Amino acid sequence: MARTPFHGPRICCYNGICSRGFEVSRLDLPMVDWSHIGIPRSHLSEAPERRSRRDVSLSKRIGFAHGAVPAPLYLQLQRALREAIEVKVLAPDDALPPERDMAEDFAVSRITVRKALEGLVSEGLLTRRQGAGTFVAARVEKNFSKLTCFTEDMRSRGRAPASEWITRAEGAVTPEEALMLGVSPNTPVYRFHRIRIADGAPMAVEYTTIAGFALPSADAVKDSLYEAMAATGHRPTRALQRLRGVLISREHASLLGVKPKDAGLLVERRGYLRDGRAVEISHSYYRGDAYDFVAELNDAT
List the one residue out of 142, 144, 128 whose CA is nearest residue 238.
144
Q: How far is CA 300 from the centre of its chain?
A: 34
User: pLDDT tens for residues 196-207?
Assistant: 998 888 999 999
Q: Which of 15-19, 81-85, 156-160 has the lowest mean pLDDT?
A: 15-19
β partners of residue 161: 198
String of DSSP letters for 73-130: HHHHHHHHHHHHHHTTSS-TTPBPPPHHHHHHHHTS-HHHHHHHHHHHHHTTSEEEET
**3-class state of residue 7 by DSSP:** coil
**Structural domains of the chain sorted by starting position, each given as residue range(s) with its CATH number in brackets:** 1-55 (no CATH), 57-138 (1.10.10.10), 140-294 (3.40.1410.10)
- Is beta strand 291-294 parallel, antiparallel or unpaired with respect to 140-143? parallel
Type of residue found at 47? A
Rounded to whole angstroms, the Cα distance separating 108 from 23 reads 36
pLDDT, the chain, mean: 80
Whether residue 45 is predicted with pLDDT greater than 50 in this model: the reply is: no
Whether residue 146 is predicted with pLDDT greater than 90 in this model: the reply is: no
Rounded to whole angstroms, the Cα distance separating 54 from 46 reads 11
Higher per-residue pLDDT: 56 or 139: 56
Share of the chain above pLDDT 70, in %: 76
Q: Which of 4-13, 129-138, 205-214, 239-248 has the lowest mean pLDDT?
A: 4-13
- Give the torsion sign (CA, 192, 197, 200, 203): negative
Mean pLDDT of 40-64: 59
How does DSSP classify residue 216? S
Burial profile 47-76: b = 16 or more Cβ within 10 angstroms, e = fewer: eeeeeeeeeeebbeebebeeeeeeeebbeb
Mean pLDDT of 104-122: 90
Rounded to whole angstroms, the Cα distance separating 166 from 168 reads 7
> What pLDDT is attached to residue 141?
65
